[in-house]
């Protein structure tokens, strides 16, 4: 099975994906939208899974929680995983709640050895339940912790070594955080392990001159496309998708944007092969 280019499944495009086979290799579904007891969402997902390979991408596992993982959430995630049989299961390097309260946001972590121990324990637990490697995504951030002891890419590398988890590199998130914090996006890409990269995300952001906000409601900008090309040079061909979470356009517009990713990937990989 060739898994080169995919899209995030959004309700606005259900009809398009069910009406005719679209030119995508797979679809990424937001796990949390389908962790329900029956009803239309699951019925629709069942139909989608009959037509397309699917990956599951979560937003509320809270892998950085010092209180450990929510066992009820993990149980429901496992039930969905067994139903969908996804290609892989991913979530974010963040925390999103504490003491039973959900913040509905992806909060950054301090990059410390203590935090590595906490996150690694949670990853091990999730992987024991899911019986598969967990795929961890880097998030965009706007503040840094004074007590961080290492760079984000060093933190991610340590997690891979300790847990065997894989990485979902969000190229836009690297670009946004690099701009906001003044580090090198190239150093980030060079700093993570080549053999642990499972997927790329491409998305847009909001440019506020002195800082960027990861809104996922714009088209991919030229700077992110350039960074994507560099990532291809380092990692080779990695399954890539366009992620749009707001201001969602007609499917044709996203498919055209996905074609841009195809063109960049083919051109870059051909040049690398010739070299």
Contacts of 1 by beta carbon, 8 Å cutoff, 6+ apart:
53
Q: For 73-129, what is each residue's pLDDT tens digit?
A: 999 999 999 999 999 999 999 988 666 666 567 889 999 999 999 999 999 999 999
pLDDT tens track for 12-31: 999 999 999 999 999 999 99
* CA–CA dist 192, 42 (Å, integer): 36
Name the nearest CA neighbour of 115 among 74, 156, 167, 164. 156
The pLDDT value given to residue 273? 83
pLDDT higher than threshold 70 for residue 228: yes
How many domains does the chain contain in total? 1
Residue 106, C-beta contacts closer than 8 angstroms, at least 6 positions apart = 59, 92, 94, 96, 139, 140
Q: Are strands 26-30 and 54-57 parallel, antiparallel or unpaired?
A: parallel
β-sheet bridge partners, residue 206: 213
pTM value?
Answer: 0.95
Q: Are 63 and 42 in contact (CB under 8 A)?
A: no
Largest distance between two CA atoms of the chain? 55
The answer to whether the CB of 137 falls within 8 A of the CB of 92 is yes
The pLDDT value given to residue 64: 96
Contact 129, 82 (CB under 8 A): no
How far apart, in whole angstroms, are the C-alpha atoms of residue 144 and residue 149? 11
What is the residue range of 47's domain? 5-274
Q: What whole-number distance in Å separates Cα of residue 173 and Cα of residue 176?
A: 5
Under the banding of pLDDT at 50, 70 and 90, the label for residue 219 is very high
In tens, the pLDDT along 61-75 reads 999 999 999 999 999
**C-alpha count within 13 angstroms, C-beta hemisphere, residue 224:** 29
Residue 1 scores a pLDDT above 70 = no
- Nearest Cα neighbor of 4 from 170, 237, 227 is 237
Output the domain CATH number for residue 251. 3.20.20.150
Q: Average model confidence (pLDDT) for the chain?
A: 95
């Amino acid at each position: 099975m060739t898994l080169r280019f995919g899209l995030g499944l959004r309700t606005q495009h259900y009809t398009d994906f069910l009406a005719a086979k679209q030119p995508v290799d797979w679809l990424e579904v937001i796990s949390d939208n389908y962790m329900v007891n029956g009803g239309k969402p699951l019925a629709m997902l069942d139909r989608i899974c009959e037509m397309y390979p699917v990956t599951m991408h979560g937003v509320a596992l809270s892998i950085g929680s010092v209180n450990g993982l929510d066992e009820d959430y993990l149980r429901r995630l496992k039930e969905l995983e067994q139903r969908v049989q996804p290609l892989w299961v991913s979530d974010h390097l963040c925390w999103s709640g504490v003491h039973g309260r959900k913040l509905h946001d992806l909060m950054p972590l301090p990059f410390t050895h203590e935090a590595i121990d906490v996150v690694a324990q949670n990853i091990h637990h999730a992987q024991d339940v899911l019986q598969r490697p967990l795929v961890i995504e880097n998030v965009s951030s706007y503040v840094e912790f004074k007590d961080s002891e290492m760079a984000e890419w060093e933190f991610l590398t340590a997690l891979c070594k300790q847990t065997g988890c894989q990485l979902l590199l969000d190229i836009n998130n690297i670009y946004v955080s690099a701009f906001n914090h003044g580090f090198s996006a190239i150093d980030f890409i060079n700093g993570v392990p080549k053999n642990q990269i499972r997927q790329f995300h491409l998305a847009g952001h909001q440019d506020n001159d002195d800082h960027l906000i990861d809104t996922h409601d714009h088209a991919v900008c030229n700077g992110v496309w350039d960074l994507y090309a560099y990532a291809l040079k380092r990692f080779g061909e990695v399954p890539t998708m366009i992620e749009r979470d707001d201001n969602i356009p007609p499917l044709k517009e996203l498919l055209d944007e996905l074609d841009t990713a195809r063109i960049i990937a083919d051109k870059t990989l051909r040049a690398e092969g010739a070299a």
